[in-house]
Every structure is written in structure tokens, then in C-alpha cells.
Structure 1
Amino acid sequence: MKNKLFWQRAGAVLFALVLWQFAAMALGQQLLLVTPVKVAGRLAELVRESAFWQTVGFSFWRIVAGFLLALIAGAVLGALSARVHAIEVLLWPFIVAVKSVPVASFIILSLIWLQASSLSVFISFLMVFPVVYFNTLQGMQATDRQLVEMAHLFKVPWRRRLLYIYLPQLQPFLLSACSVALGMSWKAGIAAEVIGIPSGSIGEQLYEAKVYLSTADLLSWTVVIVLVSVLFEKLFITLLKRAFAGLERL
């Protein structure tokens, strides 16, 4: 089944590349759209430069840091809100504000408060936090109340309740949250870098490609963002599933 899905997706990617190639050839304007062959060639040139890996690392670690901080904060506060209704009520206006206000507004405000180099960490955190918080809250609220009451009645230790009642219930909610939030963190983090233009970031490279009308560079860096985002998502979700499986065996 997995092999079939892999080949289906590979075929879809190939179809998209062929469509892109024909569209670029039909348009005949490299300033507007270059072919995937030219993008691949430019990407091959970039990966041979040490500055390329430094740039990818600069953005990667900051966006991942924002995601992980939001994952921890969202999971902890979501669990606390499920147990203490007052916390849920107090957090409600902040969560609604973060969900409703456009990311561009937060980026511009953050430029007043923070250095440009820290911008992607903060913006990634803001975009991921509500997703993890609400999923954790829903997962905790969906836990079987009778099972929880029985655990209290028989004085089951908190560690066992966490391992055998709460974590199995939270697993699908957290996996879903992470799957959605990882893509959001990269989109928001790179958008923050494009506006804040921190030196040595992917956002700076995208901005310079736009200024110099270098479509090949613009699309090459876009491909890099997609690849890094997808690969990290696959790796993180796999590790998270293994972590849950390991906890269940304890």
C-alpha cells in the first residue's frame, strides 16, 4: 500500500514538472517563468557553495526552534486548560487574536520589538501555538471521563494515567496538529524573513532574487524550502510516532 502511494505521488510530481516545463516553453519569457531544467541547474550550482548550507541552516534552526517551543507550550497549556477551566477562559482572547490577526501584522509589529534574526522564531511560534493548543485541548476533553474517574478511584499513579489514558488519547490529535503546523511554521517563518530580511537567511535570498529579477534563483530557493519542509515533516512525524510507540511499551 505504501509503495503504491509512493509511486502515485511520484507520478503526480512528474506530471507537475512536465506541465511546468511546457508552460515555461510556451510562455517563452525566462523573466516570468524559467524551466525546471534551468532551476535544477541553478540549484546544483547553489548546493556546491558553503554559503548555501549556512543559509539553509540559519533559517532551519530558527524555524524549528519556534515550532518546538510552540509544540511544548501549546501541549502544556492545552492540557492545563482542559483541567482548569479558568486557564482556558483567560487564554481565549489571546488565542483568538493570534488566529485572527494577519501574519503580516505580527511580522511588522515584531520588527519593532525584536531583532530581525529572531523574527522567524517568534512568528513560527505564534502560528503553530494555537494549532497545538486547540488539538491538545480537544484531545484532553475527548478522554473517557469514566476511565479517568476509575483511575482516580483506584488511586492510579499520575505517571500511569499519563501513559495509559491521556497519551493514547492525545496521539492522533498531536500527530494531526504537527502535520498541519509544520507546514505553517515554514510558510510563516520564511514570510517573516522576507519582510525582516535578516542577513544570511533564506528570506534574504528570496528578497534579493526579487530585486534583481532572478527568477531562477527565486524558484531554486522555493524548491529548497519545499524540500526541507517536507523532509523535516516526514522525519519529525516518524520520530513522534516511534516515541508514542515506545511510551506505550513502558
Structure 2
Amino acid sequence: MMTVRADELRENLHLVRERIEKACEAAGRASDEVTLVAVTKTFPVSDVRALTALGVRDVGENREQELKAKAPDWPDVTWHFVGQLQSKKARSVVRYASVVHSVDRSSLVTALSKAAVAEERTVRCLLQVSLAWYGPAEAATGAGRGGVEPSAILGLAAEVAAADGLELGGVMAVAPLGSDPDEAFAGLRDVASRLRSEHPGADWISAGMTGDLDAAIRQGATHVRLGRALLGTRPPLG
């Protein structure tokens, strides 16, 4: 018998998939071009169980400690690490995650490669692109959502492509606070196009969360990272 929580997740998933389908239709895209990554940060493993029972196969975590606590019980799930990653935690993340969305510096490339070789795994890496230029408030204060500057993306891409145990997958970004998401994600789309000109297989664009997934899909996102729309208001961090 379905629990109240499982019923809630079923309804949320239905609404999210419907929203993705409508956004794809409006953009002239097929809905199967966009992969939903369910971000379960701070939510219990029981929610992962319920979502996988409903057919979700891509799950994301922001924190290494939550990833290693949840992932071992769900080996048939593709685990995505979507948060900022310290190099010293690379091996722990590589042990469980098949995709790392937040590669933004050479030292992290080195750490991930060393970890992937040690764990005898191949990890797909997305380069996190800074879109701070598109957020006036963030640009003015120097604050941002992380990532490498667009001008440096091809250099970092070459490092990932040459690293043992790593596969260059594409790009990821978070729209800056106060930005026009269409403008910001159009900028990401241009960076992605430049990347593909040198690395044709690096065709993932990870962009779009609950508030801006429609804009991300309009601008070519292949993966959307959803937490609140799917799971509700986050419990406080422990």
C-alpha cells in the first residue's frame, strides 16, 4: 500500500514530467532529449526508494557524505554529484558517482583522475561554467555560483579529455541570482557549442532547476537538476 509520502512523490513526478514535456514541445524538442536528475539533498533514503520505484534512474547529491550514505544501496541508479567538490573528497565521490557536474579547476581534474584510476572506474565530467556576467548583483559584489570562466573552458576541457579514467561529458551551470535565465543559459549554450567544436562527444548541457527549467530547456539543456519541485521544501541541513 502506498504511503502518503510515496503518493506525494508520485504526483510531484507526474507534474514535473508534464512540465518538461510542455517545455520541450514549446521549444520544438522531443521530451526524451531531456534527462531528469532528482536531487535528493537532505532528503532520506526512503525518498530515493520511492522515486526509483516510480522509474527515476538518475539521482543527484550535493554533499559527499550524503552520497556515500545513500548510493551503496542503489547500484542500479546513475548517481550524479552536483555540488562543489573538494579535491580531498574526490576518491569518495568517484567510488559512487558516475557523473561529476562541478569540475572547475585543474587540481580537481588531477584528483578525480587519480581516484578513477584507483577505483578502476570511468567518470563522466561536466565543466561548471561561471555565468556571473549575466547576474549584475553577483558580478558587482564578486559573488557567484562557482565555475570556470568561459574563456578558460577549452583549456580545462583538454585536461579532462587527456586524463586517465575521465570522460569529458559537456558543461553545467547555475543561473546567477537576479539574472534573466534565458540570457544566462543562452550564454551557456554558446560555450557548449564552442566545446563541441573541439570535442564533439561532449554534448551534455546540465542546466535548469525548479525555478528556471523551462528557460534551460529552451536553451538546449539535456539534463535538468530538480529538488524542490519533486521533493518539496528541503529539511534543514544536518
TM-score by length of 2: 0.24
Q: Which has the higher strand share?
A: 2
Q: Which has the higher helix share?
A: 1
Higher relative contact order (CA 8 A, sep 6+): 1
Larger Rg: 1
TM-score by length of 1: 0.23
